[in-house]
Structure 1
Amino acid sequence: MSARVSTRISIRWPPEEASEPTDTLFLSLGGYYVDLRINKYTKTIDWALAGQRIIVSEDPLKVEFTHPLDSHCHAPGEQGHGEADVGQFSKLPNGDDLEVGEMAAPHLGGRVMPYEEVWRELDASEEAKGWILESVDEEPKVFYARIAGYFIAVKRTTSSDRYEYAAVREDREDGRWVSKHASEDVRGVETMSGLSEGLRPEKWNVGDIVKFGGMSVIVRAVAQ
């Protein structure tokens, strides 16, 4: 089961110039992914999303990303809620990946526009082990992803018919998990640094319902 850890180098909405306003970490394993983009200047969530990663075609490589959790959706039933997007990928001379497609541009009021994103794979040489988990319950809805020395948790809660989002990112440095981002309200979100009991993912299979901290979760992908 292939694992991928990558960061975004730039985004461009033609004819605008390319820029990178976020610190982005993308984790994928098997047919699932979790993607967290933190605004570099406000240190708040720019975009948090998670779901399935489905190969549409191999040549050219086209990938469909479903969005059962998408922080750009602010209320149940909102237009665009849960919609998928499709990106086409090609290799650049320096080894980075160019993704092109169309998606809603938040800075243009959500108008669907062509985009170009450049992605760079990060060194995950510590180990290729990892997993992606999804909460059994819808309230809150939480996705967890850990691949090698990287961990993301993204959470959606409903309050007064509106969605609220929170996220955590931790990187493993010198043998311990270090917080890189934590939203203000991360109550109920488990973290690698906060787990009091060791995990046994070597016993997990895709589709199993297991405990992650105090939360029941579905194993969506696992590689050991």
Structure 2
Amino acid sequence: MAPSISVREHVRWLPEPASEPTSTLVLTSNENRFIDIRVLKSNTKSDFVASEGAVLPLHRLDWAFAGTSKSEVRHSDDGKAYARSTWMHWVSSRTRNVEGISDEGDMWPQPNGRVLETGNMINPATGKATDYEELWYDPPTKAVDDGDDAKKCCVVLRLHDDEHEARGLVVRVGQYVQGVLRIGEAFSLERWEWKGKGDGWKREVRMGDFWMPCGPATSDERLKMGGEVKFGEFVWKVVELGYF
């Protein structure tokens, strides 16, 4: 599967009306590793975006999780094709114990190019299992290089250190990079975006105090498949590196 970028346009907890209280971005690599970060919006004009170097408090986080996903094509009783998608959690902002945790939803293509996800999960506002709808849009991936032969990049770096109870994942797809890292009870995340040749890469969101290799992921020419990025006692391995 080609790497993808997905932006959530709204969520609806049936029978309530649709709304979008977050900035939600999902990056998925060609080997189906994903990072899903959902930042609660604020009431300020700058919305959720942090100034360069700023750190947002973790109470501004709705949810962030990462792992692997899979999909299978199915057909409804009236013959319409849809995908049953499952997201297996490997690290999460909500819990240390992610073993066996997964989400499942049915993905229905829409005439306007969007995808409507339907399913049932716990509504965090009520604590009750509730039918939901989420509308997703996949913006085009972009190359950050100039020229007619510029290629889009996909990078994945992974940290797995059971001795220090540390799990982390950094995924870059085209013009976006996201990272999540849990060490024991503590959690950190980052989101970066390419702003164009003049402005370069900008860190849009950061929460928590841990370093993670989002910056190195923007410099794919310095990485190699199977290579490592070390910081302190932690070693991040390059598990995916490719162009599309």
Smaller-chain TM-score range? 0.7 to 0.9
Q: Structure 1: which 5+ residue stretches go unaligned? A: none
Q: Structure 2: how far apart are the matches of 1:199 and 1:13?
A: 40
Aligned mate of 1:157, from 183, 191, 195:
183
Q: Structure 1: how far apart are the matches of 2:235 and 2:102?
A: 26
The question of whether the paired residues in 2 share the 8 Å contact of 1:55 and 1:64 is answered with: yes
Change (3 A) 1:197 1:17: closer
Q: Number of matched residues?
A: 208
Q: Structure 2: how far apart are the matches of 1:100 and 1:114?
A: 7
Q: Which residue of 2 aligns with 1:131?
A: 155
Q: Who wins on radius of gyration, i.e. which is larger?
A: 2
The question of 1:53 aligning with 2:69 is answered yes
The question of whether the paired residues in 1 share the 8 Å contact of 2:155 and 2:217 is answered with: no
Change (3 A) 1:65 1:220: farther
Q: Structure 1: how far apart are the matches of 2:230 and 2:124?
A: 35
- The TM-score with structure 1 as length reference comes to 0.83
Q: Structure 2: how far apart are the matches of 1:23 and 1:196?
A: 22
Q: Structure 1: how far apart are the matches of 2:219 and 2:125?
A: 43
C-alpha displacement of 1:201: 7.1
Q: Structure 2: how far apart are the matches of 1:61 and 1:197?
A: 32
Percent of residue pairs identical? 25
- Superposed CA RMSD in Å reads 2.4
Q: Structure 2: how far apart are the matches of 1:216 and 1:130?
A: 20
- The TM-score with structure 2 as length reference comes to 0.76
Counting only pairs closer than 5 Å after superposition, residues 4-43 of structure 1 correspond to structure 2 as 4-30=4-30, 31-41=32-42, 43=48
The question of whether the paired residues in 2 share the 8 Å contact of 1:151 and 1:171 is answered with: yes
Q: Structure 2: which 5+ residue stretches go unaligned? A: 49-59, 75-80, 144-150
Q: Which residue of 1 aligns with 2:55?
A: none
C-alpha displacement of 1:112: 2.0
